[in-house]
Amino acid sequence: MERLFVCDLRVGATITQHFLVKGKHQRQKKTGEPFLAFLLADRTGEITGNLWEGLEEAERTIQPGDFVRVRAFVTSYQGSPQLNIQGMQRLKPEEVETEEFLASTCKDVEEMMGYLRRTAGSLKDPNLRALLKNFLEDEAFVTAFKRSPAAKGLHHVFLGGLLEHTSSVVRICEGILTQYEGIHRDLLLAGAILHDVGKIEELGFEKGVLDYTDRGRLLGHIVIGSEMVRERIRSLANFPPRLELELLHILISHHGEHAWGSPKRPKTIEALLVHYVEDLDAKVAAFQDFMRHSPDPFRLHWTSYHKVFERYLYLRDAEEQSLEGSEKDAPR
C-alpha cells in the first residue's frame, strides 16, 4: 500500500503506515472513559489520532519522538480529518525512512551533483581537481552531502539543502568570475564547493528532529570542514602548501567577520567572494522561504514579523509578479 501523506488523507480511508509521534496526552470522554490522544506527523503535516484500546501498553512503550506504525480509520472531527487508531507499534530504527518525515529539496539532486562534478572536472589545477575528485567520488561523503540540510533554522532547512546552497553558490561565483580580472578561477570554485562541507558533521537528525550534533556544537562546521579538507589533502601527494593555505583560508573566513564566527576575515579576493556569495544565497533563500510560508493573515502585501531579520517583508501582488521570471521563459 503506497504511503498516503498527511496532506492527502481523506475521510473514510483505512491506512497502515508510519508516523512520528509528536505528542501524547491522556484524555477522558464525557462518559469518563479514558483514551490516549496522539499528535502524529510526517513531513507534510500533522494529524490527531485517538487510541481507545491497549492504552496501558501504548502508554508504556510509546513516547513523543518515537516512530510508529499505525493502523487506523480516517474520521472527521470539527471538519478536519482525524485518525481512529486500531493499533500502533513502535518502529525499529532500521524501519524508519527519514525521508518520509523530513522535507526535501525540490530540485534534482543528481542534476546538482552532476553540475558540481562537471565544475570540479573543469578545473585546470591538477591538485585542486584531485582534491575535489577525492571528495565527490567518495560514496560515503556524497551520500551524506546529498542529504544534509544547510542550516538548522534560517535557510535551506531540508534534506538536500546543503547541496542546493552549495550548487547555487558555485553557479553565482562562476558568473561573477567573468566580471573581474585576476580571480583565481580554480581556487574560487574549489572554495565555493567545499566552503560548507563541515556541515555534514555539524548537523544531524535524531528522532526525526534536525539539530546540531555534539561535534557541531563544540567545534562548529568551520573547524570541522577545515579538518576534513586537510585530511584529504594529506592523502594526496605533493599538494602545494600555499595552495592548501589559501583554500583553507576560504573555509576559515567564509563567515566574513569574527562576530559571525569566523576566526579569520577574508584576506584574498576569492575568500571575499565566497563569503559574500554564500551570505547572499543564504539570505535570499531565507527571504523566499519566509515569503512563501509566512504571509501576514491580516495585512495584504506583507509577511508576518521575521524575528531574525527584525522586519516585515513586502509581498508583491500577483499581477505585478507576472513580470517575474519572464526573462527565463521568454523566447529570445
Q: Which of 269, 289, 295, 304 binds its own copies (CB under 8 A)?
A: 269
Closest approach, Cβ 260 to its own copies, in A, equals 7
Closest CA to 309 of 195, 105, 155, 160: 155
Q: Using the minimum distance from each CB to its own copies, give the nearer residue, 88 or 189.
A: 189
Q: Using the minimum distance from each CB to its own copies, give the nearer residue, 83 or 187.
A: 187
Q: Which of 58, 157, 203, 222 binds its own copies (CB under 8 A)?
A: 222
Q: Using the minimum distance from each CB to its own copies, give the nearer residue, 43 or 254.
A: 254
Supply 72's cell numbers: 487506523
Amino acid at 294: S
Closest approach, Cβ 200 to its own copies, in A, equals 17
Q: Which of 2, 245, 293, 307 binds its own copies (CB under 8 A)?
A: 245
Tell me how crowded residue 268 is: count the other CB atoms within 10 A of its CB: 17
Q: Using the minimum distance from each CB to its own copies, give the nearer residue, 143 or 288.
A: 288
Stretch that binds its own copies, among 3-11, 14-22, 90-98, 241-249 (CB under 8 A): 241-249
Closest approach, Cβ 92 to its own copies, in A, equals 20
Q: Which of 5, 34, 267, 305 binds its own copies (CB under 8 A)?
A: 267
Q: Using the minimum distance from each CB to its own copies, give the nearer residue, 85 or 187.
A: 187
The DSSP bridge pattern shows strands 80-90 and 45-51 to be parallel
- Asked if 328 is part of the footprint of its own copies (rule: CB under 8 A), the reply reads yes
- Asked if 311 is part of the footprint of its own copies (rule: CB under 8 A), the reply reads yes
Q: Which of 143, 284, 305, 308 binds its own copies (CB under 8 A)?
A: 284
Size of the site for its own copies (CB under 8 A): 79
- Asked if 177 is part of the footprint of its own copies (rule: CB under 8 A), the reply reads yes
Stretch that binds its own copies, among 51-59, 86-94, 141-149, 284-292 (CB under 8 A): 284-292
Closest approach, Cβ 65 to its own copies, in A, equals 7
What residues numbered 107-166 form the site for its own copies, per CB under 8 A? 124-125
What residues numbered 9-48 form the site for its own copies, per CB under 8 A? none
Q: 21 exposed, middle or buried (CB, 10 Å; 0-12, 13-18, 19+)? A: buried
- Asked if 321 is part of the footprint of its own copies (rule: CB under 8 A), the reply reads yes
Q: Which of 24, 185, 236, 294 binds its own copies (CB under 8 A)?
A: 185
Supply 118's cell numbers: 562537471
Stretch that binds its own copies, among 7-15, 137-145, 158-166, 217-225 (CB under 8 A): 217-225
| Euclidean distance between CA atoms 198 and 218, whole angstroms | 13
